[in-house]
């Protein structure tokens, strides 16, 4: 302190010397002093301790004491050139040397700033003084390239991370505002400098409209706002379009006092949208208007009207799709948050009309918007829900009819069918029965019919119509159609017509899902998890289901309508499954039906219940007594005496039937119990009524017969009169005689149900009507083989849920996280991030989760949780980086394989793709929360990915509705990425139906009606027949002719024990005469005769006689 600091400090601030020559001499003397101080430091003795260790010299001169003077001397001033040269020489001597102790970073920062940025760039001087316009334009373009490189340097600057994990700003930030004065001067109006002005405005927007690490000084922003205001009111259209093109995110970055330009920006956007030509920045104009939808309440109505007009009349596909997405955002925000939007009816009508627009891209965008609204369908009013469903049905009908004003691609029709189906699942059942379900079924029938014109319903268009202008400036958005013409001929099951396959898959979907989704177990459990061996403890896992198990069990596989696989199995009932009522008894075993269709796998457990013997006898006596004591029978007979053919009213019955429980013999007192039961069914289940407003117990009106021939009428009257006399006499004689009444039927109820092991299954199949002869063509057997089991297992594993599945990665980037390791090792996020994650879906425990796991096994994710979301057609699982408790390499593998990355960034710099390096991640949805409560959305996608929504690059949305919008955007992005694998569909029904078709083709067993019936009596008959007569089946003995009746000669020559001859006759029911059937038949008859003779001569038969 006494030697160095005070001795040198007496010089004071030498840079204030006014004379250049004196200052130069002073700086030279200071340089000599510094050289002497450096020699002193070099010759300083090192202190050596007693143990031999050395330490630094105790008196080191302060060589950095002159750094402030040298930096001041380096500043540009007129007449001080010699001083600047001496100062730069001293600056290099002071810093560029070998240091015993590294100098403080605060001193080095000033050194680098002075040596690299200011001096290196300051040598250009004032470029605005270049007199030639073309040269000035070239200089400004080169300056713009320099600025872009400086921005990259700032973006790639490393952050200094301390030992405690805290980070600081990058030490060497380039002065990006250094060119601001040049750009402001270049923006000034001058004749002949239009190209320079355009480049200057572009560089000005690049310089200021960006995300700043440190907010620029307001003195600089003041000049920027003045220049922008002048440009927005400029009469030159090129200047206005250039500013709008590069300032579309002006209000997105929350620059200080940027709302001062809201009115000017709205007026400028209105001018740009009225311009014509391919170079007009229409898309950027709509992005600028979209940033004002949620932060400018004063101009909101004007902005909404401009967006609605653009959605109807925009000339480019890209801008019209963006306008539709913005309208979808408006309705989603208003409905989900409860805000009032008085233009909601007009917005809904515009979107619905666009759903059948002639351009496929516009139509698919409108359908995506309607699917976005489906996620909040329960929050819409009844009126708006009806309008949307009726609009979608009308759009679907228009696409089915075809024409020049509707899209010709099957992708649009498929998407409309899927959307109509999804909205119907959220509609009350009363609405569906009135109009929507019949309309949809009629359209599906039309879609499945080659000539569908006569099947299409006649729908009235909406009351309010919107006219859409055609698109003149078509721009390719890589949204090519995945299908060809409306109907494509196909010869194999692999070439399914996409529209027909979709229509066939929707019908079972409606049958199962309408008014039933979600089930009580939650939306994750879509189909049944029960399989054929579920109740076999010895087998356990589904992999143990083998051919031996199938042949030795009471199980049969059936094929219904060539589209559904039904397995019927019989299981014994445990004590817990027995009925608890004392008046009921269970007959037989429990029957399990497992149906596999294009919608999924579903199972039913069926038990046969009946009354006990005592209850049945009491009920029969009560029924007979009530019939005999009916006082109104005599009045009915008297009425018949007058006119037998007069319309007879039914007996007056008591209409006071309780609908709380069905009538039974225990509660029956008077009247006809069958009539009361029919009244109960009609009152509780209106869908069972055969005629509207007519109860089931009312007789149907007699059909009218037109008699034109008088002779025929006379003959009929005579016959009827004779029949009247005979019937009336019989009625009088026999009506009240007790001996004419039938005895009560005595049913022998057996607790053990003494039938064959498959008896309960056959009884149920018979009650379902599948054993009728006229339904023989719709029900077939499946051959029990290893191939059948293998394909059934593959069907259950490949598409078990039949819903489209997506997995999405969610990353959290804090303010101090710079690389992949720090981001993925973090296990906690901010409060705002956790609220955002909770809005993406429902938090589920992956260890017990029954739905889609996103590629994770339950053993691996035993103690993990994740957001999960599901609808009737989709499942989404979000891999959140802070929730995955696993090693870093495993986390990188699972997150890196996801095609969609959602990044929540709270860092002061923008997130870029190089932070998480992966060959996947085709789309990055980056979210930056702003202090205003809004969130800025930045989307990075690969070039081959088409446009998607509802969020877009540069969107500004409220945080309260961010979760649903990001989820819908991620789903649509997945659909666009997977477009090359198939049609843009929401669901895997066609894929599953294709697997069922393969199974049908390979395992379908052609059999006669008799063989079919025998197989249902004894399931093992099928295996015994085809194993013993395998050679005969090769010649057409079994199943070549479906439904062929057995030969009478075979039945006559088959006497034998009961059932023996019939069983052998069934064996020959499928003999084909075209393949030597007569010879085979005669040989089989000889073998049959020999077996009969052996049987009749056996001693066992003699004892049984």
**DSSP codes of every residue in 548-584:** HHHHTSSEEEEEETTTEEEEEEEE---GGGS---TTE
Contact criterion met (CB below 8 Å) for 993 and 504 = yes
> What is the 8-class DSSP label of residue 744?
P
- Kindly state the tokens that stand for 450: 């080659």
User: In this predicted structure, what is the pLDDT of residue 625?
Assistant: 55
User: In this predicted structure, what is the pLDDT of residue 270?
Assistant: 93
The CA distance from 404 to 414, in Å, is 18
Nearest CA to 178 among 151, 159, 213, 202? 151
Q: What is the pLDDT of residues 476-488, one digit of tens each?
A: 444 433 333 333 3
> What is the 8-class DSSP label of residue 216?
P
User: In this predicted structure, what is the pLDDT of residue 121?
Assistant: 63
Contacts of 1076 (CB under 8 A, 6+ apart): 1035
Q: Which long-range contacts (CB under 8 A, 24 or more apart) does 186-194 make?
A: 186/128, 186/136, 186/140, 187/227, 187/230, 187/231, 192/133, 193/133, 193/136, 193/137, 194/236, 194/238, 194/239
Radius of gyration for the alpha carbons in the chain, expressed in angstroms and rounded: 44
Mean pLDDT of 888-908: 90
The CA distance from 976 to 295, in Å, is 31
The CA distance from 685 to 877, in Å, is 40
> What is the 8-class DSSP label of residue 251?
T
Beta bridge partners of 531: none
Beta-strand (E) ranges in 132-212? none
Q: What is the pLDDT of residues 154-183, one digit of tens each?
A: 877 766 655 555 566 666 677 788 788 888
Nearest CA to 1071 among 1003, 1004, 1005, 1008? 1008
> What is the 8-class DSSP label of residue 594?
E
Contact criterion met (CB below 8 Å) for 66 and 94 = yes
Indicate the pLDDT class of residue 1039, thresholds 50, 70 and 90.
Answer: very low
Mean pLDDT of 1-26: 72
Alpha-carbon dihedral of residues 925, 930, 934, 936, nearest 10 degrees? Answer: -30
User: In this predicted structure, what is the pLDDT of residue 640?
Assistant: 39
Of 702 and 874, which is predicted with more confidence?
Answer: 874
CB burial of residue 1007 (10 Å; 0-12, 13-18, 19+): buried
CB burial of residue 1046 (10 Å; 0-12, 13-18, 19+): buried
Neighbours of 826 (CB within 10 A): 16
Contact criterion met (CB below 8 Å) for 280 and 317 = no
| Mean pLDDT estimate for the chain | 75
Q: What does the chain come to in residues?
A: 1105
Contact criterion met (CB below 8 Å) for 654 and 632 = no
The CA distance from 187 to 232, in Å, is 12
User: In this predicted structure, what is the pLDDT of residue 993?
Assistant: 80
Mean pLDDT of 870-880: 90
Segment among 260-274, 558-572, 607-621, 669-683 with least mean pLDDT: 607-621
Q: Is 522 helix (H, G, I), strand (E, B) or coil?
A: strand
Contact criterion met (CB below 8 Å) for 922 and 945 = yes
Edge-first strand listing for the sheet containing 779-782: 601-611, 584-596, 564-571, 555-560, 779-782, 1004-1005
Helix intervals (H) in 568-632: 613-628
The CA distance from 357 to 412, in Å, is 10
Q: Is 603 helix (H, G, I), strand (E, B) or coil?
A: strand
Reply yes or no on whether the pLDDT at 861 is more than 50: yes
Mean pLDDT of 371-391: 90
Q: What is the pLDDT of residues 618-648, one digit of tens each?
A: 666 565 555 445 544 444 444 434 433 333 3
Q: What is the pLDDT of residues 324-356, one digit of tens each?
A: 999 999 999 999 998 888 899 999 999 999 998
- What are the Cα distances from residue 413, in Å, to 278, 418, 544, 697, 934? 31, 9, 43, 45, 37
Q: What is the pLDDT of residues 182-234, one digit of tens each?
A: 888 888 877 778 888 999 999 999 999 988 877 788 878 888 999 999 999 99
The CA distance from 848 to 344, in Å, is 42
Of 1050 and 1011, which is predicted with more confidence?
Answer: 1011
Q: What is the pLDDT of residues 759-808, one digit of tens each?
A: 888 888 888 888 877 788 888 889 888 888 888 888 888 776 678 889 99
> What is the 8-class DSSP label of residue 703?
P
Indicate the pLDDT class of residue 697, thresholds 50, 70 and 90.
Answer: confident
Q: Establish whether the linkage from the previous residue to 950 is cis, with ω within 30° of 0.
A: yes
Reply yes or no on whether the pLDDT at 698 is more than 50: yes
Segment among 7-11, 648-652, 873-877 with least mean pLDDT: 648-652
Q: Tokens 């040298």 — which residue?
A: 70
Q: What is the pLDDT of residues 292-331, one digit of tens each?
A: 998 878 888 999 999 999 999 988 999 999 999 999 999 9
């Amino acid at each position: 302190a006494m030697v160095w600091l005070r001795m040198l400090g007496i010089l004071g601030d030498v840079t204030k010397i006014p004379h250049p020559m004196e200052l130069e001499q002073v700086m030279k003397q200071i340089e000599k002093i510094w050289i002497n101080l450096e020699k002193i430091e070099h010759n300083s003795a090192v202190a050596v301790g007693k143990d031999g260790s050395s330490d630094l010299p105790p008196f080191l001169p302060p060589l950095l004491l002159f750094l402030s003077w040298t930096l001041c001397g380096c500043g540009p001033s007129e007449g001080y050139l010699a001083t600047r040269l001496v100062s730069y020489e001293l600056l290099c001597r002071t810093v560029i040397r070998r240091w015993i102790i590294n100098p403080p970073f605060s001193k080095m920062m000033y050194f680098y700033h002075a040596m690299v940025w200011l001096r290196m760039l300051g040598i250009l001087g004032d470029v605005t003084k270049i007199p030639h316009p073309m040269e000035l334009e070239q200089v400004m373009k080169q300056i713009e390239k320099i600025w872009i490189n400086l921005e990259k340097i700032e973006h790639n600057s490393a952050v200094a991370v301390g030992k405690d994990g805290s980070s600081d700003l990058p030490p060497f930030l380039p002065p990006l505002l250094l060119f601001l004065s040049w750009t402001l001067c270049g923006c000034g109006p001058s004749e002949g400098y239009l190209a320079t002005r355009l480049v200057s405005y572009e560089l000005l927007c690049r310089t200021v409209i960006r995300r700043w690490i440190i907010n620029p000084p307001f003195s600089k922003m003041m000049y920027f706002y003045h220049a922008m205001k002048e440009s927005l009111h400029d009469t030159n259209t090129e200047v206005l379009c250039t500013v709008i093109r590069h300032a579309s995110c002006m209000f997105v970055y929350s620059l200080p006092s940027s709302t001062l330009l809201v009115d000017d920006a709205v007026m400028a956007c209105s001018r740009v949208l009225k311009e014509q030509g391919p170079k007009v920045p229409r898309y950027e104009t709509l992005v600028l208007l979209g940033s004002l939808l949620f932060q400018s309440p004063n101009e909101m109505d004007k902005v909404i009207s401009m967006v609605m007009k653009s959605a109807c009349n925009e000339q480019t596909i890209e801008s019209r799709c963006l306008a539709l997405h913005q309208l979808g955002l408006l309705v989603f925000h208003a409905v989900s948050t409860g805000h009032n939007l008085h233009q909601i009816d007009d917005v809904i009508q515009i979107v619905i009309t666009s759903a059948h627009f002639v351009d496929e891209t516009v139509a698919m965008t409108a359908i995506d918007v309607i699917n976005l609204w489906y996620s909040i369908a329960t929050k819409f009013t009844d009126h708006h829900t009806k309008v949307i469903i009726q609009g979608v049905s009308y759009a679907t009908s228009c696409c089915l009819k075809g024409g020049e004003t509707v899209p010709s691609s099957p992708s649009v029709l498929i998407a409309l069918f899927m959307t109509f189906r999804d909205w119907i699942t959220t509609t009350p059942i009363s609405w569906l029965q009135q109009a929507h379900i019949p309309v949809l079924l009629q359209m599906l029938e039309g879609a499945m019919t080659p000539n569908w014109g006569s099947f299409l319903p006649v729908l009235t268009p909406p009351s309010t119509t919107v006219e859409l202008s055609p698109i003149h400036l078509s721009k390719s958005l890589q949204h090519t159609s995945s299908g060809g013409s409306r109907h494509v001929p196909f010869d194999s099951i692999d070439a399914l017509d996409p529209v027909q396959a979709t229509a066939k898959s929707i019908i079972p979907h409606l049958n199962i899902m309408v008014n039933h989704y979600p089930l009580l177990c939650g939306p994750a459990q879509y189909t049944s998890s029960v399989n054929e061996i579920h109740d076999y403890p010895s087998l356990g896992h589904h992999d143990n289901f083998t051919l031996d198990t199938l042949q030795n069990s009471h199980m049969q596989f059936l094929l219904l309508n060539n589209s559904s696989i039904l397995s019927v199995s019989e299981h014994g009932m445990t004590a817990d499954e027995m009925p608890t009522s004392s008046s009921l008894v269970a007959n037989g075993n429990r029957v399990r039906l497992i149906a596999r269709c294009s919608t999924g796998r579903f199972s039913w457990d069926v038990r046969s219940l009946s009354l006990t013997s005592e209850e049945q006898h009491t009920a029969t006596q009560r029924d007979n007594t009530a019939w005999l004591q009916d006082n109104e029978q005599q009045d009915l007979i008297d009425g018949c005496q007058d006119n037998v053919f007069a319309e007879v009213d039914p007996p007056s019955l008591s209409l006071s039937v309780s609908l709380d429980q069905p009538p039974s013999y225990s509660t029956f007192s008077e009247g006809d119990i069958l009539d009361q039961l029919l009244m109960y069914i009609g009152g509780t289940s209106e869908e069972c009524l055969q005629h509207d407003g007519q109860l089931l117990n009312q007789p149907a009106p007699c059909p009218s017969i037109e008699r034109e021939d008088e002779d025929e009428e006379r003959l009929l009257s005579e016959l009827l009169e004779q029949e009247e006399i005979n019937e009336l006499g019989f009625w009088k004689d026999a009506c009240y005689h007790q001996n004419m009444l039938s005895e009560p039927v005595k049913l022998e109820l057996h607790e053990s149900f003494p039938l064959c092991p498959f008896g309960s299954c056959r009884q149920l199949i018979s009650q379902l009507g599948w054993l009728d002869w006229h339904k023989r063509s719709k029900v077939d057997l499946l051959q029990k083989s290893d191939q059948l089991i293998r394909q059934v297992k593959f069907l259950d594993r490949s598409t078990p849920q039949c819903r489209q599945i997506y997995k999405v990665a969610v990353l959290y980037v804090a303010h101090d996280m710079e690389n992949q390791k720090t981001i993925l090792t973090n296990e906690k996020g901010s409060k705002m991030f956790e609220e955002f994650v909770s809005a993406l879906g429902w938090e589920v425990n992956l260890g017990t989760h029954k739905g889609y796991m996103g590629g994770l096994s339950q053993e691996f994710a035993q103690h993990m949780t994740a957001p999960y979301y599901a609808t009737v057609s989709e499942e989404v699982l979000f891999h959140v980086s802070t929730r995955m408790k696993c090693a870093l390499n495993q986390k990188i593998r699972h997150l890196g394989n996801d095609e969609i990355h959602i990044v929540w960034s709270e860092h002061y710099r923008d997130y870029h793709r190089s932070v998480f390096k992966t060959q996947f991640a085709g789309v990055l949805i980056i979210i930056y929360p702003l202090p205003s409560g809004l969130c800025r959305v930045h989307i990075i996608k690969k070039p081959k990915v088409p446009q998607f929504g509802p969020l877009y690059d540069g969107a500004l949305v409220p945080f309260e509705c961010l979760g649903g919008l990001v989820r819908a955007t991620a789903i649509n992005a997945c659909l666009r990425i997977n477009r090359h694998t198939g049609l843009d569909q929401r669901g895997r029904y066609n894929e599953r139906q294709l697997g069922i078709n393969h199974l049908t083709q390979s395992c379908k067993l052609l059999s006669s009606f008799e063989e079919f019936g025998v197989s249902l009596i004894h399931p093992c008959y099928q295996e015994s027949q085809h194993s013993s007569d395998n050679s005969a089946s090769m010649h057409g003995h079994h199943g070549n002719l479906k439904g062929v009746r057995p030969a009478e000669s075979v039945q006559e020559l088959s006497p034998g024990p009961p059932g023996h001859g019939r069983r052998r006759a069934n064996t020959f029911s499928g003999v084909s005469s075209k393949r030597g059937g007569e010879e085979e038949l005669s040989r089989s008859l000889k073998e049959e005769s020999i077996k009969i003779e052996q049987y009749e001569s056996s001693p066992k038969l003699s004892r049984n006689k």
